[in-house]
Amino acid sequence: MKQFRISTIAYSCALAMILTMPTIAAQNGNTDNPLIAIPNLNNASSSTAAAAQGTPLNASAATPLIDPALIRIKQEQDNAKLKEQIEKLKTENQHLKESIGVEQTKIPEVPATVLTNNVPKYNVNGTGAASASGKEANDIVVSPGVNQLVSIAVGHTNRIVTPFTHPQVSSATLTGGEQGEVMVKDNVVYVSTAKTYPLSMFITEKGQENLSISLTLVPRKIPSREISVTFKDSNVQMRLASEDAEAWEKSQPFVSGTNKNLREVALQGIPSGYNLSSIPRNYKLPKCRVEGFKVDFSNGQLITGSKLHYVIGKVTNVSSQTLEFKEAGCGDYDVAAVALYPTNVFEPHQSAEIYVIKHAVGRQEVKQVRTSVLDK
């Protein structure tokens, strides 16, 4: 009986606390706390009555009560599991790299200035002044026997285009193997070297040691170069006629051989064995006097053979009428033939190419000149 009375008293106290907690929460302004925000019995009975009469209940009254602390604990647990999975994947990836021996390396970036820095600015024309752009030209003009400085790429193949038909190279520093390599194909000399000090070489025509090109090659860390070498003296340039061109000119009748060469030149070709170059500054140009026409060789071309030279220029009708160009207007004692393409009848301001074939002066030997004692 005594035990029953104690249980009854405990139950009564618990019921009293439940009924008074909403009132306490309202007085303290803490009605949002789900632990104490327990609906009172009056509201519960009112809701039951309204439901019985068919009146809709308030939506907020049906909202489930969840403790924010529980939500935060759940989020922390999820984040901890996600971090654990990420660390596990990192560990597996590292084990995979170690098993196959793969190391991730970053390729360093190389600035573009490495191609231009420390590149020598030599003047290849022998005037003693550097070029305006600071870059070395690929076309150099030399005098026979006068040494010229030329930059080449170290560790790469370089091309030197010579005016000789069958060039040969003499050098004490370019012998092949460890010190470098020299290879000759047609009129081109290929040079490759791993050395960084200056290298000297002489280039001559095979069988003609009286005419030479003297070069000092300066290896640099630059890209491969192609260097075209021509002689400053136009007479020297012209007497280097090709043996193939000479054989062709001797084997063909003059008229038929000239017609074949003119056809190939008009079709933008170069006859076999002939050399194409710009017209030298002191070259004796043809003189054409045809009324109503302007003949210009300032931007012309010169194709040289053994006995014949093909001088190519531009003809323009400067009149206001249709005119026919008379080839005889370009005649001279050394002119062999004159032709035009694509037409010799011109509308006003129409232009065409003109081909003037001249007789060459023939081969000349380069000889040393003795100064007379009377001049001293």
User: Are residue 336 and residue 280 in the same domain, yes or no?
Assistant: yes
**Has residue 110 been placed in a domain?**
no
Model confidence over 231-273: pLDDT tens digits?
876 555 555 555 566 666 777 777 888 888 899 999 988 887 7
Kindly state whether residues 266 and 205 are assigned to the same domain. no
The Cβ of residue 353 has, within 10 Å, a number of other Cβ atoms equal to 17
Domain residues for 15? 1-41
Considering the domain architecture, whether residues 307 and 266 belong to the same structural domain is answered as yes
Q: Are residues 149 and 248 in the same domain?
A: no
Pairing of strands 226-231, 157-161: parallel
Tell me whether residue 103 is in a domain.
no
For residue range 157-190, list pLDDT tens digits in order.
Answer: 999 998 887 888 888 877 654 555 788 888 899 9
On whether both 335 and 308 belong to a single domain, the answer is yes
Is 50 contained in some domain?
no
Position 270 scores a pLDDT of: 85
pTM of the model: 0.42
**Residue 142 contacts residue 216 (beta carbons within 8 Å):** no
Same domain, 296 and 263: yes
Residue 353 is predicted with a pLDDT of 95
346 and 290 share a domain? yes
- Structural domain contains residue 146: yes
Residue 14 in any domain: the answer is: yes
**Whole-angstrom Cα distance, residue 150 to residue 140?**
9
What pLDDT does 235 receive?
53
Cis peptide before 198 (omega within 30 of 0): no
Residue 178 sits in a domain whose CATH number is: 2.60.40
Of 364 and 318, the structure prediction assigns the larger pLDDT to 318
Indicate if 225 and 248 belong to the same structural domain: no
**Nearest-angstrom CA–CA distance, 310 and 279:** 10
Structurally, the chain folds into a number of domains equal to 3
- Say yes or no: 225 and 261 in one domain: no
Q: What is the DSSP pairing of strand 208-220 with strand 139-142?
A: unpaired
Residues 209 and 310 in one domain: no
Confidence of residue 333 (pLDDT cuts 50, 70, 90): confident
The string of pLDDT tens digits covering residues 77-112 is 888 888 888 988 888 888 777 766 545 555 667 777
In a domain, 117, yes or no: no
- Of the listed ranges 104-118, 221-235, 273-287, 358-372, the least confidently predicted one is 358-372
C-alpha count within 13 angstroms, C-beta hemisphere, residue 268? 1
| pLDDT bucket at 132, cuts 50 / 70 / 90 | very low
Residue 259 lies in a domain: yes
